[in-house]
Amino acid sequence: MNRRDCRTGSGGLFFCRNRKFKSKKWQLSVFLLTFAYYKPIFTKVEKAMPINCIGILTSGGDAPGMNAAIRAVTRSAIFSGIQVKGIYRGYRGLLTNEIVEFKTQNVSNIIQMGGTILKTARCTEFRTEEGRKQAYENMRAAGIDALVVIGGDGSLTGARIFANEFNIPIIGLPGTIDNDLYGTDTTIGYDTALNTIMECVDKIRDTATSHERLFFIEVMGRDAGFLALNGAIAAGAEAAIIPEISTEVDQLEQLINNGFRKSKNSSIVLVAESPVTGGAMALAERVKNEYPQYEVRVSILGHLQRGGSPTAHDRILASRMGAAAIDALLEDQRNVMIGVANDEIVYVPFTKAIKKDKPINRELLDTLRRLSI
Ligand code: F6P
């Protein structure tokens, strides 16, 4: 049977010239087999609902590039004929009805701005079932059919629960300086934070060299060492103490045993904030007690790492991801985070993005070790 012999028709399940294929029994089996094989496609088509209006919010810690993402989502949606509503202060805005219609002008002149024009919050009420029910009712009352959530680990966890509970299409964008979401090479804000760290360490190096001191510089990252490790390489630091390998070796002991000051009078060590590393203060205390020959100082970079105008990398990443979020919704994707892996847009299921640990590239550790002699 070639394609010309068999085509769909209204007289039966299929209209076929060949007698064998004309029998109703045969046609029914073909239909059932086709349905079983392509069930996911049939299911998807059944579930598809037209998306006329989307809501957009930023949640959790702000990150440079969030505004570029808001702009990209808004403009791509409007370009595709979809209405946009900006939700202020993250999930809290859904509970308190801080919802405003966004036109293209609402997102003019924001691509270069740090922070988020939508404001952000960490909302405890949204962690409760009643809170999410209220949020859903407000969202529906505002005519919102789908959500785009820009945020980190906690925000996407909230999105996953909300989407499952109320069967809402939600697309996540990875917005966090920590770079700790699985499935994307980098997150929005990470590159800017990394550059800020590099500039700060460059400055601290001047005083460290002049006074011949050992400096522990604590950087953000929650429980991930991406900022510390890559920041150390970019700034030419001697070492990075990161949570990913803190349970394997005593990194401080290793640093001292490697004779880190053999060829230098000053040293800079980047420390990732985390209970696992203990943080810069605890390490400095250890040095004071165990290696009193070193004059040690601590600098905690803190929230200045979250501010500032986004780098070109973050603006481009946020723009691509924002546009891809609308493509994803139009393709009836849901419960996925947009990622960029090997320069390609990818859809990462929330469960993977949140739950799977993003591994540190061990080659970077080796590079840092070799270059710090
Ligand atoms: O998740 C981003 C982040 O900046 C982490 O690196 C840091 O641990 C945390 O947020 C700080 O949160 P907050 O601003 O609420 O103190």
Choose which residue among 153, 177, 196, 271 to substitute to test ligand 1 binding: the one with the highest number of ligand atoms within 8 A of its C-beta.
177
Weakest mean pLDDT among 53-67, 263-277, 342-356: 263-277
What count of other Cβ atoms lies within 10 Å of the Cβ of residue 240? 30
Instruction: Give CA–CA dist 212/321, Å, rounded.
Output: 45
State which of 89, 153, 222 you would mutate to test the pocket of ligand 1, scoring each by most atoms of that ligand within 8 A of its C-beta. Answer: 222
CB–CB of 62/124 below 8 Å?
no
DSSP one-letter string for 71-91? HHHHHHHHHTT-EEEEETTHH
**Residue of 274, 277, 305, 306 to test ligand 1 pocket, by largest number of atoms within 8 Å of CB:** 306
- Taking CB atoms and a 6 Å cutoff, what residues make up the pocket around ligand 1? 61, 152, 176-178, 220-222, 273, 306
Letter for the amino acid at 203?
Answer: K
Q: Among 34-48, 189-203, 329-343, where is mean pLDDT lowest? A: 34-48
pLDDT exceeds 90 at position 104: yes
Is the pLDDT confidence value at 43 over 50?
A: no
Whose Cα sits closest to atom 1 in ligand 1?
61
Confidence of residue 19 (pLDDT cuts 50, 70, 90): very low
Average pLDDT value for residue range 64-83: 98
**What's the pLDDT at 30?**
54
pTM, rounded to two decimals: 0.87
Q: How far apart are CA 37 and CA 183, in angstroms?
A: 28
How much distance in Å is there from the Cα of 29 to the middle of ligand 1? Answer: 58
Residue 16 above 80 pLDDT?
A: no
Task: List pLDDT tens digits, range 185-233.
Answer: 999 999 999 999 999 999 999 999 999 999 999 999 999 999 999 999 9
Mean pLDDT on 74-83: 98
Inform me whether the pLDDT recorded for 98 exceeds 50. Answer: yes
User: Ligand 1 centre and the CA of 330: distance in Å?
Assistant: 33
Which residue's CA is the closest to the ligand 1 atom numbered 3?
A: 61
The rounded mean pLDDT for the chain is 89
Nearest alpha carbon, ligand 1 atom 13: 61
Residues 52-63 pLDDT 10s: 999 999 999 999
Q: pLDDT category, 23, cuts 50, 70, 90? A: low
CA 227 to mean position of chain CA atoms? 14
The CA 6 to ligand 1 mean position distance, Å, reads 62
Instruction: Give pLDDT, residue 255.
Output: 85
The Cβ-side half-sphere exposure at 187, using a 13 Å CA radius, reads: 33
DSSP 188: B
- Is residue 373 very low, low, confident or very high in pLDDT (cuts 50, 70, 90)? confident
Q: Whose CA is nearest to atom 15 of ligand 1?
A: 61
Lowest mean pLDDT among 32-36, 139-143, 278-282, 310-314: 32-36
Calculate how far, in angstroms, residue 222's C-alpha sits from the geometric centre of ligand 1: 7
- Please identify every residue annotated as catalytic: 178
| Position 101 pLDDT exceeds 70 | yes
**Residue 277: both structure tokens together:** 């590393």
CA 269 centroid distance within chain: 27
Top-confidence residue, 175 or 264:
175
Give the nearest ligand 1 atom to 152 CA.
1
CA of 64 to the centre of ligand 1 (A): 13
- pLDDT, average across residues 240-246: 94
Atom of ligand 1 lying closest to residue 153 CA: 1
Question: What is the average per-residue pLDDT within 114-119?
Answer: 98
